[in-house]
Amino acid sequence: MPVGTPAEIPKSETPVRATPPSGEPDGTRGNRWAVLAVLCTSLLLCGIDLTVLHVAVPSMSRELHPGSAQLLWIVDVYSLTLASLLVTCGTLGDRIGRKRMVLGGFAVFGLASAAAAFSTSAGQLIAARAALGAGAAMIMASTVAVIRVVFTDDRERSVAIGVWTAAHSVGATVGPLLGGLVTERWGWGAVFLVNVPVVLVMLAVGARVIPESRNPVPRRWDLPGVTLSIAGLGAVVYALKRAGEHLSADLPVVCAGLGGALLLAVFVRRQRRLAEPLLDVSLFADRRFSTATVGVISCFGSYVALLFFLTQWLQQSGGFSPLRAGLALMPLAAANAAGAATAPWLSARWGERWSLTGALAAFAGALALLAVAGDTGQYGSLVGPMLVAGYGAGVVMTLGADSLMAAARPERSGEAAAIQETSFELGAGLGVAVLGTVLTAVYREALPALPGLSPGRRAAVEQSFSGAAEVSGELGASAARTVMGAARRAYDQGFTAVAAVAAAGLALTAVLVALALRPRRGGAG
């Protein structure tokens, strides 16, 4: 999962470095690997927090009792906030100093982690997760510019950025396993609390070794543009979640959705008119660039959603413990790493266009198989589809990112890298939001009448699987078995619908790539 390949940023954009009297940058050559260690640890934490909560959701739900829409906000408000703020935090870092931005991000991330760990309501946890996303955006937006300041040798810089990129991927991959280990031993709040001592160490070391730098001619900070993009995206996602929660699109939901779409349209129009836009939307006029962006968003969104809903399905329907659920996802994660590693070979052999098309089709086929034949009671039936899905996703994430960067002209590769990073995070947030809405709607629709339950208990069962578990604890043995059996069957149908919808979306993306992602002139494909 390459979260960005900013190695392409042209040297002309390398920022002026703060230089002490000795003439050396204040992050001296002897400290450059220590700087990289701090930055990579921070990216590892950002990646972990993208997925660490997945296996802890059932435990958290039993304590905080979130509604279905609140549960989706808890999970994906982190990535949505991160995606919304990446570009603007990068612009602010250019203006006020990258070291300040990174260290400020550490502080926000640590405080938000503590707040999340001790949250006593769903609303508090949502706010804390949003703050976590803001802290992660502050960190991620400036780290690659810091690397370019410290690593002046081209070969060393290439190695450093490769390690930096891998750190986020490793974090997202080990997140479910770490979450399972910590949740089973210390409870769901500990998945956030473990961040705090790590952040304190990074603050102390980072303040000493990270050099300060800023762009001597920074771009203007487009506050109206930031406001329009965040408000528009938030309104659209809110409308999706509310529609899934209530199985209807009433007037407030429709107004929120249309209003959000209008705000995003105004944002695009504004960016097209600005001399120094926050996001250069003219890049999307290139068919190859826009197609690669769609491929990245579709693939990564489906992959992160699969990680999330598989962990819920295994625990809710299959009775897996948090640790066992985390371990059960390891074939998916290992195959994803293998896909990323072999993607260049596939591209050299079959061409980028057909390698992407085939990988997307394979991912779609694996999800379709999960929808048709997946059974939590037979874990062996899940391993094959997980291996294929993980491998296909790894190929698409790598080649899609490379295609996106290659489509941009060298002098605009910095902007392309920012869009690429945003695409990954936006895909993660939208994937969980859209597919979570599907699961919520199907789960509620599939529940039978359950006669004998009071209206309040019926509403709790419809709200979420954890609500059904809570209600069953208040009933006699026979009634509890009936409620839980119905909830499990409904959740099974919800997961089947999620897998089917994601498979259809990936299949359409594969067709789009085959038709629109033309090979380079003189290249294979």
One domain, residues 258 and 346: no
Backbone angles phi, psi at 395, to 5 degrees: -65, -45
Mean pLDDT across 152-157: 75
Number of other CB atoms surrounding residue 159 within 10 Å: 14
Residue 59 is encoded by which pair of tokens?
């435990």
Q: How far is Cα 139 from Cα 134, in angstroms, rounded to an integer?
A: 9
115-125 tens-digit pLDDT: 999 999 999 99
Identify the pLDDT of residue 246: 61
DSSP state of 213: E
Read off the pLDDT band of 9 (50, 70, 90).
very low
pLDDT at 266 over 80: yes
Is residue 143 a part of any domain in this protein?
yes
Say whether pLDDT at 335 is over 70.
yes
Q: Are residues 247 and 322 located together in one domain of the fold? A: no
Residue 340: exposed, middle, or buried by beta-carbon count in 10 A (0-12, 13-18, 19+)? buried
Instruction: Say if residue 206 is in the same domain as residue 226.
Output: no
Asked if the structure places residue 209 within a domain, the reply is yes
Classify residue 479: in a domain, yes or no. Answer: yes
Alpha-carbon distance of 337 to 358, in angstroms, equals 17
- List, in sequence order, every residue forming a beta bridge with 16; answer none if it has no partner: 214
Q: Are residues 363 and 509 located together in one domain of the fold?
A: yes
Does residue 524 sit in helix, strand or coil?
coil
Q: How confident is the model at residue 18 (pLDDT cuts 50, 70, 90)?
A: very low
Residues 242 and 348 in one domain: no
219-257 residue pLDDT tens: 677 788 888 888 888 888 888 777 766 656 677 888 888
Q: Per the domain annotation, does 5 fall within a domain?
A: no
* Domain assignment of residue 364, yes or no: yes
Look at 98 and 245; give whichever has higher pLDDT.
Answer: 98
Query: Which CATH number covers residue 393?
Result: 1.20.1250.20
Q: What is the pLDDT of residue 6?
A: 38
Contact by Cβ (8 Å): 102, 143: yes
Q: Final residue of a domain: which of 215, 238, 255?
A: 215
Only one residue has tokens 């960067």, namely 405
Residue 387 within any structural domain of the chain: yes
Q: Distance between CA atoms of 64 and 188, rounded to whole angstroms? A: 11
H-assigned helices in 210-222: none
Residue 414 has pLDDT above 70, yes or no: no
The C-alpha angle 7, 415, 38, rounded to 5 degrees, equals: 45
Per-residue pLDDT at 402 exceeds 80 = no
> Phi/psi at 517 (nearest 5 deg)?
-85, 85
pLDDT score recorded for residue 247: 58
List the beta strands (DSSP E) in 197-264. Answer: 213-214
Residue 270 has pLDDT above 80, yes or no: yes
Q: What is the mean pLDDT of residues 58-87?
A: 84
Tokens (6 digits) for 129: 């997760």
Crossing angle (nearest 10°) for helices 57-64 and 465-472 = 60
Instruction: Of 112-121, 404-413, 467-476, give the lowest mean pLDDT range.
Output: 404-413
Same domain, 64 and 180: yes
Q: Which pLDDT score is estimated for 162?
A: 65
Structural domain contains residue 19: no
Are 57 and 176 contained in the same domain? yes
Domains identified in the chain, total number: 3
- The domain boundary, picked from 277, 307, 323, lies at 277
Mean pLDDT, rounded, for 309-315:
87
**Distance (Å, whole) CA 461 – CA 472:** 9
Arithmetic mean of pLDDT, 490-515: 93
Predicted pLDDT at 404: 74
Q: Which of 242, 261, 277 is the last residue of a domain?
A: 277
Res. 519 pLDDT band, cuts 50 70 90: low
Confirm whether 262 is domain-assigned: yes
Q: What is the pLDDT of residue 59?
A: 85
Average pLDDT in the 183-206 region? 90
Higher pLDDT, 352 or 299: 299
Residues of the chain with pLDDT > 90: what percent? Answer: 20
| Predicted confidence (pLDDT) per residue in 425-474, tens digit | 888 888 888 898 888 888 888 888 887 788 888 887 887 777 787 788 77
Using left for φ > 0, alpha for ψ between -120 and 50, and beta otherwise, residue 286 falls in beta
- One-letter amino acid at 157 equals R
For 77, the domain range is: 26-215
Task: Give every CB contact of residue 33 below 8 A, 6+ residues apart in sequence.
Answer: none
Same domain, 378 and 261: no
CA 340, CA 361: separation in Å to the nearest integer?
A: 16
471 shares its domain with 348 = yes
Residue 191 has pLDDT above 60, yes or no: yes
Mean pLDDT of the chain: 82
Tell me, what's the pLDDT at 46? 86
pLDDT at 68 over 60: yes
Residues 440 and 487 in one domain: yes
Q: Which phi and psi angles does 16 have, rounded to 5°?
A: -70, 135
* Per-residue confidence (pLDDT) for residue 412, from 0 to 100: 58
120 and 56 in a single domain? The answer is yes
Claim to verify: residue 98 and residue 187 sit in the same structural domain: yes
